[in-house]
Structure 1
Amino acid sequence: MKTFILLAFCALAASAYALNEADRVSGENGWYVPQQDGSFEWVDKDVAEEWMAQQEILESRGLTTVPVSFYLYTSSNPTKGQKISATYKSIDNSNFNAGNPTRFVIHGWTQSYTAGMNKNIRAAWLGQGDYNVIVVDWARARSIDYATSVMAVSATGKKVANMINFLNSNYGMSLNDLYVIGHSLGAHVAGYAGKNTNGQVYAIIGLDPALPLFSYNSPNKRLNSNDAWYVESIQTNGGQLGFLKPIGKGAFYPNGGKSQPGCFMDVTGACSHGRSTTYYAEAVSQDNFGTIKCGDYQSAVNDQCGSTYSGVRMGADTNAYMVSGDFYVPVNSNSPFGMIN
C-alpha cells in the first residue's frame, strides 16, 4: 500500500483534490483496498490504474517471480497432500487417476494450501466419491501488500492452466468434468486459468470473487462468465471485499449477498467474505441450499424475489446443465447454513 500512497500523493499534488468520501463508490471510481491489519485505504481509480499499468510492464518482463505449487489429494491420501509438478515423473509417482473427475481449489489473499477452506472443500468432494483434488498454493497471495498479490493473479492463473493442459494432453484428464474453484483473489486466478486452457473448462466456481482493484467493466481482467462452459459465483460480501454485481452465469446471493447472519461486528467483512467457502463445502456435501429465482441482481440484494423456492440448489453438481440468472439464497446463522433438508 505504500506504493499507492506515494502515487496518491503525487496525484494530489498534480490535481490539488481527490474524491470526497461521499462520492466514493468502490469498484466504480476507486476502491477501498484491504490492509493486512483489517483496515482499508481508499485509492482513486486513476491512481490505481496508473500503478497497475506500470506493474504489468514489470511482470511481463519477468522482473518478479510467481511461485506456484500443487498438492494432490485422493481417496488414497485424503489428508496428506502429494506435491506434484507438470512432469511425467511427478505424476507417474502420484495417486493421480485420470479416470476420476478433477477439482482444482485456489485460496485467496494471505492464505496457503493449508487454509481451512481447502481442507473443507477437498473433504467435501472426497466424501462424494473418487476425485483428484488438486489444491493450488500461490506464494504471492501472502504478500503484505494486497496490490502486489493482485498483480500476480494473471501469471498464477496461467501456471494453473499449464498444469491443466499438461494433465489433459499427456494423461487424458477430461476437461468435460473439470471444476476450478477459487475464493476471493483465487476466483480471478481461476478465471485466468480458464482463459488459458487448451479447450474449455467445464465449470469455474467463484467464491465471493474479490472486488478491490478489479473492475466489472473489464471482464478480460477478472473472472467472467465466459471463462468456462459454466461459471457460478457465490457472493457473500458484495460491495466490500467481493463483487456485488453478478459475475457468473449463475449468481447466488446468500442473505442478499452483502453480509451474512452470524457474522457479528463484521466491520472488515472478513467473516461474510469467508462464508462463501463454508457455504460451498456444505453445499457439496449436503446439497441443502434452496434458492429463489430473481429477475435481476438488485432484487436478490434487496430480498425482493418472493418466497417460492426454485428447483435450483446453490453449489449443486448439476447446475451447469440448468442454471442461468440471479438467485436469492436464504441461510441460517449457524451450521447447517442451508435451509433445505
Structure 2
Amino acid sequence: MRNYTLAPLLLLVVLVVVEAAVVPAWRNSKPHHLTRSHREVQEWCDPVLGCLQLTEDWYMPGRPINDLPKPRDDINTKFMIHTRTNPAPLEDVYISAENVIIDTTTFDPLKPIKFICHGFIDTGNLKWLKEMATAFLELGDYNVIRVDWGDGSLPMYSQAAANIRVVGLEIAHLANHFISNYGVDPANIHLLGHSLGSHASGYAGEKIQGLGRISGLDPAGPYFTETPEFIRIDNTDAVFVDNIHTDADHILLLGYGTEQAMGNVDFYPNSGHDQPGCNPVSIGIEMIEDLPEGIRDLGACSHGRAYKLFTDSLKEPCPYLAHECIDYYSFEVGRCASCGEDNSKCAYMGIHADQYTHKTREEVRMYFDTDKESPYCYYHYQVIVDTAHPKEAEDWVQGHLHVTLFGDNGETITNLKLTEEHERFDHGQPKYFMFTSHVDLSRVIRMEAHWEYDDTLTDIGSYCWNLLCNRALYLRSIQISPMDYYPEETRLDHTRAQCHVGSEYVKIEDDQTQDLHYDGNWRFQELCNQRRKRVPSGAFRDKTVRVLSGFCSAEV
C-alpha cells in the first residue's frame, strides 16, 4: 500500500517553485500562442462522464499553468463503502455506478450518504479517512464512502488541480446513479473534502441537483484563492456549504489553505492560521508515539487540523459553537458573545453545522478556539469586569485579576488568570475578556476574585507607591456569560453578574481576595438600573439589563 508521509514537504517545494519562479516568467515572457486573445479552447471528454473545457477564463496570475485532466483510467478514482452492517466495517468494499456491483454491497438507499475525499499526494487509505468513517458509523447509521483518487493526486500540483475536475465528475456520476436508480434524496447526500478534495466536492456539487451539503476541510488556497466561483468551492454548490479554515497563511508563508470565505458559513478556529500544538516540540512528541502521523504533521500540521476537528465533532458532546465576529481579535477580547435575537450569529462547527438557522447567508465568518490535542473542544466564557470609581480610587490601575468560579452543577475552575499579561483597568469603565476551558460551569453562582497590582519596570508612570497612590481595584460586579449555550435565550438564562454582599462595590487591596456570590440582600434591580445608565451607548446591543432568577445579567 502506498504511503506518502512526506507529501506535505513535497507540496511546499513544488508550489514555492511554481509561484516564485514560474509566475514572474509567465507574466513577462509568455509565448504568443498563450496570450489571452489567442488561446484555443481545449476539451477533455469521456463517453461516460461527459466533457470538460479549458478556456481562457481559467488563466490568471494565481493560476499561471492550466492543464487538461489526465485520462479517466489514469486518475483511477475508486469508491469504498462502509456501513454498520458490513461484516468488517473498515474492509475495502468497492462500489461503483453499476447496479450489479451496488447490490452486492450493504448500501442502503434509505440511509444518509457521506462521501469523504482526500487531497494532494494522498490516497483514500489514509488513517484519517478511516477514523472519520468509523466516527460517522459510531454516531449514526450512514452509508460512508471513501473516495480514492491517489493515482491522480501524484503529478505536479497544477496537474492534480486539473484532475480533481474529473474526480468531481466521478463523485457526481455515482451520486446521480443513486438518485436515479435507487430513489436516494439528494438532500441526504453530504460531501466532505480535504484541501483539493474540497474543490473536487464543489465540482461534484455543480452536477448534483439539490445536493444537501458540502463540508470543505481547509480548502486548498494555491490556484483557488480569489478565483471565479466556477473554479473553486462556493456556496452555490449545495443547499448548504460549510468550510473549516485551519492553515490560512499564504503558501510562501508555509500555508496550504486560504483565508477567503467560500461557503455559506466559514469557520476559523484559532483565527484560521497556525493551530495550537503545531510546533516542533509537540510534533516531535507525536513522532515518538506515531511516526507516520508525526512525519505528516511535520509538513502540514495546521492543514490537517480541519479533518481532525470535524472527526472530533462526531465524537464529543462538547458543542463546538462558533460566533460571528468582525475579526478574530474582537472575538478574543469578548466582544462577540451574543448569538443575536434571531440566533443568526452562531453556528456549530462540524457535523451539526447544518443546524444553522440562516442557511441562505453567504460567506459568514465564525470564530472559536480549540485545545492543541483531542478532545479539542473548549467551552468559551465572556467576562465583563465592571469597576467603580469612588473618590479614593485611582483613575486606573494595572495588574493581574485571578478568579475562581463555582458553577451550579458542582463544577469549579480555580485560580484562573483572565490575561497572561498585566491588564489596565480604568475605574468606572467595563472591561471585556474571554477565556476557554474544558469545564462546563453552567451558571456561575459564586466567585472568588484575587487582585495583584503590577508595576512595569519600563514604564515609570505605572509605579504606584503605597504611600503615594492607591493600588486597590474597585469592583461593582463581574459578569460571566457561557458562550456555548444556544439558542440566545438559553445563554442569557445562564448569564450571571456576581457582586459583593451588602454594598454597591467592593475594594480589593493589592494581593487580596474577595468573595462574590448571590445573597438575598442584594438590591439587584437598583444595581441593574445603575449599570444601564453607566454603560456607554453601544456597549450592550439593546442597552437593557435584565434580572434573571435573582441575578443581574446583561445581553451582550
Same fold (TM over 0.5): yes
More strand by share: 2
Higher relative contact order (CA 8 A, sep 6+): 1
Report the equivalent of 1:285.
315
Counterpart for residue 357 of structure 2: 322
Report matched runs for 1:135-146 at 5 Å. Answer: 135-146=146-157
Residue 248 to residue 13, structure 1, CA distance change in 2 (3 Å): closer
- Cα deviation, residue 66, structure 1: 2.7
Partner Cα separation in structure 1 for residue 259 and residue 353 of structure 2 = 24
- Work out whether 1:245 is the aligned partner of 2:260: yes
If each structure's helix is expressed as a fraction of its own residues, which one has the higher value? 1
Deviation at 1:99, TM superposition (A): 0.9
Q: How many residues are aligned here?
A: 305
SS in 1 for 2:348: coil
Cα separation, partners in 2 of 1:328 and 1:158, compared to 1, 3 Å: same
My pick for the range that moved more, 185-194 or 135-144, is: 135-144
What is residue 67 of structure 1 aligned with on the other side?
Answer: 76
User: Which amino acid in structure 2 is aligned with residue 244 of structure 1?
Assistant: E
Structure 2 residues without counterparts, runs of 5 or longer: 1-13, 31-58, 250-254, 284-296, 340-345, 380-439, 441-556
**In the alignment, is the contact (CA less than 8 A) between 1:107 and 1:117 conserved in 2?**
no
Instruction: Give 5+ residue unaligned stretches, structure 1.
Output: 16-44
- The 1:305–1:290 alpha-carbon spacing in structure 2 relative to 1, beyond 3 Å, is farther
- Aligned runs of 1:1-341 on 2, under 5 Å? 1=14, 4=18, 11=26, 14=29, 49-52=63-66, 55-56=67-68, 59=69, 65-77=74-86, 78-197=89-208, 199-239=209-249, 240-265=255-280, 270-296=300-326, 298-299=327-328, 303=332, 306=335, 308=337, 310=339, 312-317=347-352, 319-323=354-358, 324=361, 325-340=364-379
Q: Indicate the residue corresponding to 1:33 in structure 2.
A: none
Separation of aligned partners in 2, 1:90 and 1:133? 16
Matched with 1:32 is none
Q: Amino acid of the residue matched to residue 213 of structure 2? A: A
Task: Kindly indicate whether the alpha-carbon contact (under 8 Å) linking 2:217 and 2:243 is maintained by their aligned counterparts in 1.
Answer: yes
Provide the C-alpha distance between the structure 1 equivalents of 2:26 and 2:227, rounded to a whole number of angstroms. Answer: 23
CA contact (8 A) 2:118 2:147 kept: yes
Structure 2 residue identity aligned to 1:216: E
| 2:349 match: secondary structure | coil
Offset at residue 68 of structure 1 (A): 0.6
What is the CA deviation profile of residues 186-218 of structure 1, one whole-angstrom value per residue up to 9, with x for unaligned ones?
Answer: 000100010111x12101000000001113231
Q: After superposition, what is the alpha-carbon deviation per residue over 1:113-148, rounded to whole angstroms, capped at 9, x for unaligned?
A: 111221121111101121100110013453142221
**C-alpha deviation, 1:50, in angstroms:** 4.1
SS in 1 for 2:241: strand
Separation in structure 2 between the aligned mates of residue 138 and residue 164 of structure 1, nearest angstrom: 16
Matched letter for residue 162 of structure 2: M
Q: Is the 8 A contact 1:294 1:300 kept in 2?
A: no
Change (3 A) 1:49 1:76: same
CA contact under 8 A between 2:310 and 2:351: conserved in structure 1?
Answer: no
- Report what 1:35 is aligned to: none
TM-aligned CA deviation for residue 10 of structure 1: 5.1
Q: Does 276-285 or 238-247 show the bigger shift?
A: 238-247
8 Å Cα contact 2:331-2:367 kept in structure 1: no
Q: Check 1:12–1:85 CA distance in 2 against 1; reply closer, same or farther (3 A cut).
A: closer
The CA distance in 2 between the partners of 1:181 and 1:215, in whole Å, is 19
Structure 2 counterpart of 1:80, one-letter code: E
Give the conservation status (yes or no) of the 8 Å contact 1:191–1:223.
Answer: yes
Structure with max Cα Rg: 2
1:79 is aligned with what amino acid?
Answer: L
Cα distance in 1 for partners of 2:241, 2:164 equals 18
Aligned Cα RMSD in Å? 2.9
Q: C-alpha displacement at 1:317, in angstroms?
A: 2.8
The whole-number CA distance in structure 1 between the counterparts of 2:102 and 2:182 is: 9
Of all paired residues, the percent bearing the same amino acid is: 27
Matches of 1:211 and 1:179 in 2, distance apart? 22
Q: Is the 8 A contact 2:75 2:163 kept in 1?
A: yes
TM-score (norm 1): 0.80
Question: What amino acid is aligned across from residue 74 of structure 1 in structure 2?
Answer: T
Instruction: Provide the secondary structure at the position in 2 that maps to 1:256.
Output: helix
Is the CA contact 2:325–2:331 (under 8 Å) kept in the aligned structure 1?
Answer: no
8 A Cα contact 1:111 1:141, kept in partner: no
